Copies of this chain bind each other. A is one copy, B any other.
Amino acid sequence: MEVRRHNAGFCAPHFLKLCRDQVERAIAHHDMLHPGERVLVAVSGGKDSLALWDLLVDLGYQADGLYLGLGIGEYSDESGDHARAFAQGRGLRLIEVDLREQYGYDIPTGARAARRVPCSACGLSKRHLFDAAAVEGGYDAVATGHNLDDEAAVLFGNVLRWHTEYIGRQQPVLPERDGFPRKVKPLVRLSERETAAYCVLKGIDYQVEECPMAAGNRHLGYKEALNLIEERSPGTKAAFYSEFIDKVADRFAVDTAAEQGALGACASCGAPTTGEVCAFCKLVERAGGHGADQPVSLTAKPASRR
């Protein structure tokens, strides 16, 4: 396995060691987790989340998984199967939440009803439900499988528009605050090619398909543009991200603080929010009742509910 940005090739055992070392380093360098902590892993069934779960267990953390049923047709069915198979095979605990059963909507139809792009409705649902489950279950942190490619692409997108309030917030660890759990991204030192190779070498059977709703979104365009540059100058992506964290992020902290405002409790669910009702409850209000078998009427008023 050739890793061009390290200018080195690795045999299987040393490649696995590299992955483990990079995750340990990220955790230590950013003070993400402490020995023996209880971690809730956001599990999608893809390469990143399963590699992450595997690595955290291997490193001695008490890591449970949380899988969200998003209702995105076959893609979701298969993703769930991979997550369950992984957990069962290793005797790990997988918590499951099904959007349709528990909140009355799925991503494709609910997003349309709420007039949000699917990726926005999905991200919002995930953030809220992972946070809520972590707080409720008394976990020390939520861990997500964002890898170097993801983080570099998000940073690139925010830098292209100079969304200063988002730029200041892009950290590999967000400390616990005001009812939000600590959030950590232990894979920020691994590329997506590496997490895929990790899974293959460890015999982890993951969902290979990308989410069909994400096809053609901006984020993938940013990844493509960065890959074009990485191809010519290996290491650019890692430098872009790590130099940002080390030398630049602080300069934008003030924008993030200004944007965050004062937090109260959501009148509906109690989650921390700057408004009366949190964004997730607003989404449920508008999207609820829009599961796959209840097609959306595009003429219905946005806030209407069945």
Chain A: residues with CB nearer than 8 A to chain B? Answer: 159-162, 164, 218, 221-222, 224-226, 228-229, 232-233, 236, 239-240, 243-244, 247-248, 251-252
Contacts and interface: CB of A to CB of B under 8 A. Distances in A.
Contact of A233 (B164, B218, B248, B251): B218
Contacts of A232: 218, 221
23 contacts: A159-B159, A159-B240, A160-B236, A160-B239, A161-B236, A161-B239, A161-B240, A162-B239, A162-B240, A162-B243, A162-B244, A162-B247, A164-B247, A218-B233, A221-B228, A221-B232, A221-B233, A222-B229, A225-B225, A225-B228, A225-B229, A228-B228, A251-B251
A117 to B, nearest CB: 14
Interface majority SS (helix, strand, loop, mixed), chain A: helix
Please give the count of copies of this chain that the complex contains.
2
Contacts of A161: 236, 239-240, 243
Contact of A164 (B226, B239, B248): B248
Contacts of A233: 218, 221
Nearest to A250: B251
A229 B160 contact: yes
A172 to B, nearest CB: 16
Contact of A225 (B164, B226, B244, B247): B226
Nearest to A236: B160
Given A225-B226, A225-B229, A248 B218 contact: no
Contacts of A164: 247-248
A232 to B, nearest CB: 5
A287 to B, nearest CB: 27
Given A160-B239, A161-B236, 7 more contacts: A159-B159, A160-B229, A161-B239, A161-B243, A225-B226, A225-B229, A251-B252
A164 B244 CA distance: 10
Contacts of A162: 239-240, 243-244, 247-248
Contact of A160 (B218, B222, B240): B240
A305 B243 CA distance: 40
Contacts of A239: 160-162
A215 to B, nearest CB: 13
- Going nearest first, the 6 A-B pairs with the smallest beta carbon separation are A162-B243, A225-B225, A251-B251, A160-B240, A225-B228, A221-B232
A160 B229 CA distance: 10
